[in-house]
Amino acid sequence: MGDITPNFSSFNISAKGMSIQKKRMDIVAENIANTNTTKTDDGTPYKRKYLTIQTEGGFEGKFNAANNSLNMKMSTTKAGHISSAGTTGSERGMAPEVSFDMEVNKDRRKGEMVFMPDHPDADEDGYVEMPNVDVITEMIDMISATRNYDANVTAFNATKQLYRDSLEI
């Protein structure tokens, strides 16, 4: 007879998803707060930040907030085989543990040049390089991150309810 082992991987997946979306919201808030910062500590205009996520396990994914896209691919040993198949807990039907790294990157594109001859950061022609932050894009990213966060909360609560209901059987 097999043992009854709880599998809480769905809680971990939802928690990791919420963590990622919270970090995205923090970055968007920082970008919006610096839309008019023409000089940072290094003397250059503020550069928009975005989050890159790298997973370790069977999947590799990178979210690029610059164009709001997620690129994922599966690592394989042979065509049709997942490299992480048969590892960590799969004997009991548990999902393999997947870890990830979040990395904050700067968008190196130049910002818009605006004619402001009286501005202290103006060049010899009177132009100031503004940060490369577009508030509309940032608001769209914020809405996306908020909805993704809410979806993870919903999945977390549904799993919690499933466990609660299974205890009543």
141, 98, 77, 62 alpha-carbon torsion, rounded to 10°: 20
Asked whether residue 1 is assigned to any structural domain, the reply reads no
The beta strand positions in the chain, using DSSP E, are 49-56, 59-64, 69-74, 99-106, 113-115, 127-129
- The 10s digit of each residue's pLDDT in 134-156 is 999 999 999 999 999 999 999 99
Supply the range of the domain harboring residue 98. Answer: 9-35+49-106+133-167
Asked whether residue 78 is assigned to any structural domain, the reply reads yes
Asked whether residue 114 is assigned to any structural domain, the reply reads no
- In the predicted model, is pLDDT for residue 91 greater than 50? no
- The 10s digit of each residue's pLDDT in 101-142 is 789 999 999 999 999 999 999 999 999 999 999 999 999 999
pLDDT tier, 85 (very low <50, low <70, confident <90, very high otherwise) = very low
**What domain count does the chain have?**
1
- The 10s digit of each residue's pLDDT in 10-50 is 888 899 999 999 999 999 999 999 999 999 999 999 999 99
Asked whether residue 125 is assigned to any structural domain, the reply reads no
- In the predicted model, is pLDDT for residue 3 greater than 60? no
Asked whether residue 60 is assigned to any structural domain, the reply reads yes
Asked whether residue 122 is assigned to any structural domain, the reply reads no
CA 5 to chain centre: 31
Asked whether residue 156 is assigned to any structural domain, the reply reads yes
Asked whether residue 4 is assigned to any structural domain, the reply reads no
Task: Supply the pTM of this predicted model.
Answer: 0.70
